[in-house]
Amino acid sequence: MKYRKWIVFALVAIGAIVSQFFVQQRYTSLLQVGSEYQWPVSISRRASWIPSDYLHVTFLGAQGPWMGERAPVEQQEAYVVVVPKPSGLLTVKEVTPHRPDSGEYILARITRYENGIAEFQIPFDRVKVDLSKVNPQFYKGYKGTLLATLKVKDGHGVVTGVYSKGVSIEIAKPGSIEEQERDSRIPLEELGNGDGKITPPVEE
């Protein structure tokens, strides 16, 4: 009986280590072979248990028409079918309970459904940064729209960076409140409508 607790503890510890190993393997694989896109986001700093070199990412406009035969329920797993604009910015085409046979898609969970529109949460919602270099204004009430770069493959993904006007938030400046509010008034569907690809600069 006294050894049972230690056995359970050991199994839990091994499970945590193995799980972390597979998460790291997937992260590395996505960085190498995932297709790169962009998505409008906001960022915030969450609970203290999250490592200090991560920021939470909220994907803006995370909703789309539901294409299932039945209405979805909260936390139901679903596939978000996405289409990139010429700029590389992703747009949501539809949300479906069925895995698409072709095209790009993201595995997500339903958070709300009303009038044929499904809102969803994308699970890879953190970005690794050097917080000592990030201006806190970016994650404390920032009103402007930021762009995240992400790599996606087979429904899974990873956020690789967050940019303000093409500059990494680790070296960017937030700008004035007036500039942020003006930026926030641009409709999400109009972002990235130019012919040129919104490619963040390569940092030296």
pTM reported for the whole predicted model: 0.78
The Cα 134–Cα 130 span in angstroms is 7
Helix (H, G, I), strand (E, B) or coil at 70: coil
| pLDDT higher than threshold 70 for residue 72 | yes
Instruction: Give the mean pLDDT of 73-102.
Output: 94
| pLDDT higher than threshold 90 for residue 3 | no
CB 18 within 8 A of CB 10: no
The Cα 64–Cα 114 span in angstroms is 11
pLDDT of residue 47: 64
pLDDT of residue 118: 97
Alpha-carbon separation of residue 178 from 166, 167, 174, 175, 187 (angstroms): 19, 19, 11, 8, 17
Alpha-carbon separation of residue 138 from 105, 125, 147, 183 (angstroms): 29, 16, 12, 14
The Cα 73–Cα 76 span in angstroms is 6
How far is CA 106 from its chain centroid?
10
- Of 16-30, 44-58, 142-156, give the range with the top mean pLDDT: 142-156
% residues pLDDT > 90 (the chain): 57
Q: What is the pLDDT of residues 9-46, one digit of tens each?
A: 555 545 434 434 344 444 454 444 568 999 999 999 87
